[in-house]
Amino acid sequence: MAKLDPKRLDAFLKDPGETRVVLLHGDDAGLVRERAEALSRAVTGGDELAVADIPREGAKDTALLASEAATRPLLGGRRLVRVREATDAFTNAAKAALEGPGPGLVVMEGPELQARSRLRTLLEASPKAAVIACWRERGAELAASARRILEELGISADGPAIDWLVQNQGEDRLLLRRELEKLALYVGPGGRATEEDVLAVVGEANTLSLDEALNSAFAGDVPAADRALASAISDGAVPVQIIRAALRHTQRLLEASMAVADGSSPGEALGALRPPVFFRTKPIMERALRNWRMPALEAVANALLEAEKRTKTTGMPDKAVARQAVLAIAQRGAARR
């Protein structure tokens, strides 16, 4: 089986069949965890005693995965062996599990495994394994996932509510699911969430403060941007979330700026964006479009990409990097105003 066809994914997560080892990798750790838990429910029926968690140190015992997979749960059924921090150190253990007697399923979570990883190479070549990529979803794909999660939780949502979620909650699947669970509790079983419900419940503090910080930055209001950014960080916004939100905001302005250059008015350009611009922020984004041109927005996008790299490759505190990145936009906005 090796690399799993995306069209077969949903069915596979409900019934992995005779597969011996599943590897979940990709840049969305939340989605990796969600799919691992789906497999765990499918295999064990929710019996926690049928799950064996293998720590990173377990890689030293080559026979451990195969031995655990061959063990029958106390209450019967199939055992699930879960490796939450899979690295290349587990390659030999995974090979033994593929060749072992089973019947348990080994689920390995390796979000950071690269294409040339020895573990990925081994499992992608095996008909007894399944390798599932878990990349961050965007746009329509993320909106579809949000609707699917809400359906699982027993509620639905209006189109504008989904649009706001996709635009403001970022691409982390685990964070999105947690916020949707809060929304489901608020709306109640069988309910339908409106945009007002979403604003009342989902990410109310740090998301709205972060929106205010970015809108103030592009408007050139340095003090307001700094205050809103401090509030967002205080309410739980993390540096990489701040930088990625700033990059998404910049890319949306850049897309609208291209439409303006082709003859659209700022209002028309913003109205054509998908997901739609939240109506309360449309006036301030129109002003930003009048003050910023495409070359300047492209420069901001490049600077934000570099800022994200600095959070991972330098010793500078990542909060300081994120704050500098947003305030640099505000200072440039002030100069352009």
pLDDT tens digits, one per residue of 173-192: 777 888 888 889 889 999 99
Q: 239 and 163 in one domain?
A: no
Q: In terms of domains, do 257 and 281 share one? A: yes
> Do residue 196 and residue 210 come from a single domain?
no
9 and 69 assigned to the same domain: yes
The 3-class SS string of the chain reads: CEECCHHHHHHHHHCCCCCCEEEEECCCHHHHHHHHHHHHHHHHCCCHHHEEEECHHHHHCCCHHHHHHCCCCCCCCCCEEEECCCCHHHHHHHHHHHHCCCCCEEEEECCCCCCCCHHHHHHHCCCCEEEEECCCCCHHHHHHHHHHHHHHCCCEECHHHHHHHHHHCCCCHHHHHHHHHHHHHHHCCCCEECHHHHHHHCCHHHHHHHHHHHHHHHHCCHHHHHHHHHHHHHCCCCHHHHHHHHHHHHHHHHHHHHHHHCCCCHHHHHHCCCCCCCHHHHHHHHHHHHHCCHHHHHHHHHHHHHHHHHHHHCCCCHHHHHHHHHHHHHHHHHHHC
| Count of C-beta atoms within a 10 Å radius of residue 15 | 10
Segment among 123-127, 141-145, 241-245 with least mean pLDDT: 241-245
Render pLDDT for 65-108 as a digit per residue (tens, 0 to 9). 999 999 888 777 889 999 999 999 999 999 999 998 878 999 99
Distance, CA of 150 to chain centre: 16
Shared domain for 77 and 150, answered yes or no, is no
CB 284 within 8 A of CB 215: yes
Domain end point (choices 89, 110, 133): 133
Residue 154: which domain range? 139-201
Q: How many CA atoms lie within 13 A of 51 on its CB side?
A: 20
Low-confidence winner among 34-38, 188-192, 293-297 (lowest mean pLDDT):
293-297
One domain, residues 278 and 225: yes
**Same domain for 216 and 327:** yes
**For the chain, what is the domain count?**
3
pLDDT digits (tens, 9 = 90+) for 7-19: 888 899 999 999 9
pLDDT band, very low/low/confident/very high, at 163 (cuts 50, 70, 90): confident
Say if residues 34 and 148 touch (Cβ distance below 8 Å): no
Domain-terminating residue out of 201, 216, 250 = 201
pLDDT number for residue 208: 62
Same domain, 281 and 298: yes
- Looking at the fold, whether 108 and 163 belong to one and the same domain comes out as no
Neighbouring CB atoms inside 10 A of 171's CB total 21
231/332 same-domain check: yes
With beta carbons less than 8 A apart as the criterion, state whether 212 and 224 touch: yes
Highest mean pLDDT among 184-188, 210-214, 242-246, 316-320: 184-188
Q: What is the CATH classification number for the domain harbouring 253?
A: 1.20.272.10
Judged against a pLDDT cut of 80, whether residue 57 lies above it is answered with yes
Q: What is the CATH number of the domain that holds 184?
A: 1.10.8.60
**Residue 177 and residue 283 in one domain:** no
Question: Residues 216, 97: one domain?
Answer: no
